[in-house]
Amino acid sequence: MPKLFSKKEIETFFARLAKSDPEPRSELVYKNPYTLLVAVVLSAQATDKGVNKATEKLFPVAGTPQKMVKLGEAGLTGYIKTIGLFRNKAKNVIALSKMLIEKHGAQVPKTREELEALPGVGRKTANVVLNVAFDEPTIAVDTHIFRVSNRTGIAPGKDPLAVELALEKCVPAHYKLNAHHWLILHGRYICTARKPHCPTCVVRDLCRFADKTKEPPLPKKTTLTKPAARPAHAKRRGS
């Protein structure tokens, strides 16, 4: 079992991520807490890029619970049919929009319990909304954060909840608000699933991953050969 991170190493780990990206932001495009909630629900098993492409046209038409309910499930499906599991997601978005109107005055609630009571909203989605919309220091563990936490060894766990609790315990308070963003972006662009970019990783010396990738070997130098001498009898072009 890899050696656990010391408090000093954890501080250094997040200090470097913070230095490389001082103001991390969600890559989902949204206008308000409600559109953020919808975007996160749509992003399950989908890319942020794919969700943004769909919501670019959806949100100007249905950017509030009332407008979304008016659009209806069939209308919503037309906007999100390029996203995986779109039928079930359309059903959940309409249902959660109705519940927001009926129980929360069309406002997105600010507690995990109330958020998780909404159709299609689990712990991860609730944590994203609390963090991004309401500046709560929550950590939503997706596949990227789960991989980074286990691969680096900073917060290993057998499932997302175990990793979340481990991160909650070890991340210094002054880094918690942005820890979710740093870890997910690090996993998305540096600590990738198939072939991590270890040579460019700012925490590679702290990482416990044994099979780090290395810089590709430099191409062998090629010997330049001089072009063959022009035969004495060859005519110049145009002569």
Q: Which residue numbers are catalytic?
A: 124, 142
Quote the CA–CA distance of 233 and 218 in Å, as a whole number: 42
> 80 — phi, psi (to 5°)?
-115, 15
**51 in Cβ contact with 42 (< 8 Å):** yes
Q: Strands, DSSP E only, in 37-151? A: none
Quote the CA–CA distance of 203 and 209 in Å, as a whole number: 11
- Scanning 1-85, the segments in alpha helix (DSSP H) are 7-20, 33-42, 48-58, 65-80
Quote the CA–CA distance of 16 and 212 in Å, as a whole number: 19
3-state percent breakdown (helix, strand, coil) of the chain, nearest 5: 55, 0, 45
Instruction: Give the torsion sign (CA, 60, 93, 186, 178).
Output: positive
Residue keyed to tokens 């996993």: 187
Q: How far is CA 107 from the centre of its chain?
A: 25
